[in-house]
Chain A
Amino acid sequence: MAEVLVYVDHVDGAVRKPTLELLTLARRIGEPVAVALGGGAADTAATLAEHGTVKVLTHDAAEYAEYLVVPKVDALQVAYERVSPAAVLVPSSAEGKEIAARLALRIGSGIITDAIDLEAGDEGPVATQSVFAASFVTKSRVSKGTPVITVKPNSAAVEAAPAAGTVEALAVSFSEKATGTKITGRTARESTGRPELTEAAIVLSGGRGVGGAENFALIETLADSLGAAVGASRAAVDAGWYPHTNQVGQTGKSVSPQLYIASGISGAIQHRAGMQTSKTIVAINKDAEAPIFDLVDYGVVGDLFEVVPQLTEEIKARKG
């Protein structure tokens, strides 16, 4: 059976959920061989094995943390040459897309980014993408070289599928280009204790209607009662009410949760681009004409300062 190379996104050995989803898709095409780089790389093996990985290629070096992107491209290329895979799959983060693109160029392949589904096809894997602010769905194929495809979070279910997950060390010697961009400082983001925005099953977002940074507590309290992640529109971010890392939309995160609740958000095309594929959409907005209502499964025309607290109370009461 053909092998499929899967690039692992992990934090000190803890594999992030999008990589496990990627393994579900990879198994539709062939046998997953994972590439894990940097500190804790070998610690990923147990989790990867549980999800169908036959082999885990690992390498650690200071360069991965000290220089931007290129060391990882060098390593992925070494893995590619060793495995000769049927496809290379990479999680669709900003960095993942850059790594994938540079690899594709080096190995003479085409690249597809932000796939939301993947199936085996007669002429190679077929990727589904959501384009034009999620108003169209396309099916594409890489027609030159080994397909390199990046896949968005929440595109497949995580499935258990025990496999060997044998760890093998990669021997990587970095190109001169690898040390071109130095990372001179790093400030880790403080954890909020809430789920990751792109991975959460429920996302609650607030917009300009929230009216101020302090009022976001209203959204956060509701979010905590549902175990949800908190997002924001660009208007709320630009006003300085909520961090940019939480922005949902074209230039922020794209989310595709089971439930998305927009409070005080009008539903501009750039915001829709990041949430339109959510399963169930709910909006609270005092303007009955707000375009967000075109998308909703359930909408409340009203003042979020009345509706949100009442909803939070009701949820608490029901949960006892």
Chain B
Amino acid sequence: MSLRIVVTVKYVPDATGDRHFADDLTVDRDGVDGLLSELDEYAVEQALRIAEAADAAEVTVLTIGPEDAKDALRKALSMGADKAVHVEDEELHGTDAIGTSLVLAKAIEKAGYDLVISGMASTDGAMGVVPALLAERLGVPQATLLSEVSVEDGTVKGRRDGDAASERLQARLPAVVSVTDQSGEARYPSFKGIMAAKKKPVESWDLADLEIDTEEVGLGGASTTVEAAAERPARAAGTIVRDEGEGGKQLAEFLASQKFI
């Protein structure tokens, strides 16, 4: 039996661009270039490594997002994933984490899975809750925030580094895993990979395909409301001195004036 791995990947606005909110207080996805969330590259990488170590495996990358989100899927396919699923529906605009987890869970079930791998957090919303929500919805174990992961004989094992301790975890498949940026550098797509990706299948599903009621998603279905968003006022320009032998002393003077020493 082939190991079926589904990787959830998000298409996000470039963090180095000028990110803003749209008039409806959702993330403005038009003003800034988008890309495959860097933190989801680690998820794709671990999926590929687990697939390579298995006798037989198939890696499906899954995204929920607008038309352009196909770019994220292409990138993952060119890294080596086998096929892609794009969930796209106008009604999805403004969906929050709870709604996103519903749509992802339905799509994962429809695609069929033994293992779900997610990133540690999206680089735009940065909540870091979708993997736990997926495990809750799918009714399978969550082995999240792993900095080291492997699969053997139907069991996923890994290392989770917490504040107080580093823990070793173990769960039977099917399971939901999320991986951190400490899990191992993601590979760059090769030229061959990029060419091959163009021929790989990308399926498009909408809410009807997933039998999801439009009222459960989108801005209307969201269980949280953003009431206001304001740009943080620029910090007042500070004092900058050039060290000409007294820099440390000058800094001490400043710290003393602020009562830190």
Question: Residues of A at under 8 Å CB distance from B?
Answer: 11, 68-70, 73, 93-95, 97-98, 100-102, 104-106, 109-114, 126, 130-145, 177, 180-189, 196, 202, 226, 244-245, 250-251, 258-259, 269-270, 276, 280-282, 284, 288, 293-303, 306-315, 318-319
Contact = CB atoms under 8 A, between A and B. Distances in A.
Given A101-B132, A130-B232, A280-B258, A302 B123 contact: no
A102 B248 contact: no
A135 B19 contact: yes
B162 A94 contact: yes
Contacts of A282: 251, 254-255
Contacts of A314: 248-249, 252
Contacts, number: 258
Contact of B128 (A97, A105, A106, A293): A97
A265 to B, nearest CB: 15
Nearest to B231: A136
A139 B228 contact: yes
B101 interface: yes
B142 A98 contact: yes
Contacts of A109: 223
Given A94-B145, A306-B248, 18 more contacts: A11-B164, A97-B129, A98-B132, A110-B224, A113-B129, A136-B229, A138-B226, A140-B224, A141-B225, A180-B135, A181-B171, A183-B167, A187-B165, A226-B261, A250-B126, A300-B241, A307-B247, A309-B248
B207 interface: no
A314 B143 CA distance: 49
Interface string B115-130: 0000011011011110
Interface residues of B, number: 82
Contacts of B242: 288, 300-302
Nearest to A112: B224
Contacts of A110: 96, 98, 222-224
B206 interface: no
B182 interface: yes
B141 interface: yes
A173 to B, nearest CB: 18
Contact of A244 (B135, B161, B231, B235): B161
A189 B165 CA distance: 5
